[in-house]
Each structure stands twice: as C-alpha cells, then as structure tokens.
Amino acid sequence: MALKVLLLAASIVLAVVFVLAFATSNSCTRSIRFVHGPEVFMLRNTSADDLVIGVLTSPETVYRAIALANTWKRRSPSKVVIYGAEMSPTPPPQVPQYPWRLPTDESREVVYPEIVNLPVKAGHAHFVANETVAMLKLLYASFPHKKWYMKCDDDTFVIVSNLLMALDKRNSSEDLFLGRTISDGLLHSGGAGYVLSQSAISKLLTTIDTCLEAAPIGAGEDLIIAGCLRKYHGILPTLQMGHYFSHVHQTRTAFRDEHAEGLVQFPISFHWIQPEEMYTYDYLTFHAQVISF
C-alpha cells in the first residue's frame, strides 16, 4: 500500500513538472531586471522587440543626440533610431566628452551616433512638423511589425525598461495614443515622448499628409498629430503617468505644478534635459546604488 502511495505521488510530481515545463517553453514571458533593488519584473504580453523608439534631432542640437547615444540609448533593450534633416555624416568639430567617468568607463570613448537623414528640409529645432511626420513614416516603414512606436526629442532621457513595463499592461491592437497630456488634455507633449500603438500609427499615417497640409504655418507637431488622430480616427490622448517635464533648477515647476497626478515609482521619461544633465541622470539611474540597513 505504501509503495502504491509513493508511486502515485511520484507520478503527480512528474505530471506537474511536465506541465510547468511545457508552459514555460511556450510562454512569451520576458524578464526585466531593474538596477535598484532585487526585484525581477516579468513582462507577459510585451517583449523588448515589440517597441521601437524614434528620436528627433537637428543640426543645431546634435550635441544632445551625442549625449543620449552615450547614456540611455546604449542601455535600451529596445531599438532606438535617431533621425534628423540635413544632418552631417561626420561629428561636429569638438565632440563633447564625458563630464566625469566611472572606473568602468575609462576605456570607453564618446560615440558619435548613426543618424538617419530625413528627406525634408530642417526645421532648425523649431517648427519640426515636417520632420516628425517624415520620421514616423520612415519608422513605420522600417519596422512595420512592432507593437509600439515612441517619438521623443533629443533632450529627453528615457528609461526604456520602465516604459516596457507600462506598455505590458496595455493592448497594442487598440487605438492608443499615450504620453504626457497638455493643453487641458487635448494633446501630448511631443518632446517628452508619446507612444502610438500599432493600430493607432497605421491609421494616423493614412491621413497625416492631409492634416499636415491643412495645418497653419508653424503649428506644433504634437498639435497636428493629436488633431489628426482626433478628427479622422476618434483617437484621444491617454495620460500615461511617468513622462515628466524636468527643469532641474525649478523643482516645484517640474515635479509639482505641472504634474498634478504626482510622482510614480517607475518614471518613464524626463524632458528638457541638457547634455551634461543627461550624464547625471544616467549615473543616478544606472550606476548609483543605495545600501539598505
């Protein structure tokens, strides 16, 4: 009798192991290990390959692109592509150096990033609607099977792993337009970064030329994008917490007055970041450790 019980118990254990092994082998779960703390967060509906990020730079602000390429871009688990109009293929005369180095960085030189030239004239850091539309078209054409498409400016610091965790809770087949809402919720800040689902961007690109032609001269790209999605597709902006305007020297404005919803544990992006501040954010996010007692 005891032998039968043991055999039965063994068979149950083997069955459970088999089921778990099968489930694991067929799961699309991805793990993202965050730097701070021992926690491991599992992505169940999204992988790093599901997201692509397009960063818009310009001839005048390429030094920002250099800073982001040597900070958060090189750490991103997802594809990040830098775009700009009338960009030089060679670095500027004096490529900025790291303001400081950690011991592990001593042998690493500053990298001048590859920048994809857009087939439009440069808006020269302002009036960049043409460049943004050209970038979204090229981004979608180059990566047509991604679930999520993010656009941000070159003065934005993005923590991509946190963004992936936020997107994991959403459905890319829905018409989603996510980001930092401004102007009473009518649009998203283009600089701080907005995210379009596969469904939303595919619809947007069918009407964006019409919207661009109808827009007044000098209209902001974020205004045009939001208006086009609303007018032709009924897609409204959805606040995604964690996209911040960050005036480092104006803390009250940055983190209280402009963000009534408060702070979140896992921030996604910080906008209006100067190049040296980009390295500061990189150090505090990915290098600095806190010892707990």
Q: What is the pLDDT of residues 85-115, one digit of tens each?
A: 999 888 887 776 666 666 666 556 778 899 9
| CATH number at 51-287 | 3.90.550.50
Annotated domain spans of the chain: 51-287
Conformational region of residue 215, where left means phi above 0, alpha means psi within -120 to 50, and beta covers everything else: beta
What mean pLDDT is reported for the chain? 80
Q: Is the pLDDT of residue 14 over 80?
A: no
CA dist 27 to 30, 42, 46, 49, 59, Å? 9, 11, 11, 15, 45
Determine the pLDDT at residue 27: 36
The answer, as to whether pTM is greater than 0.85, is no
pLDDT tier for residue 30 given thresholds of 50, 70 and 90: very low
Q: Is the pLDDT of residue 34 over 70?
A: no
pLDDT tier for residue 159 given thresholds of 50, 70 and 90: very high
Determine the pLDDT at residue 157: 96
Burial class (CB in 10 A: 0-12, 13-18, 19+), 282: buried
Distance CA 155, CA 291 (A): 31
Distance CA 204, CA 201 (A): 5
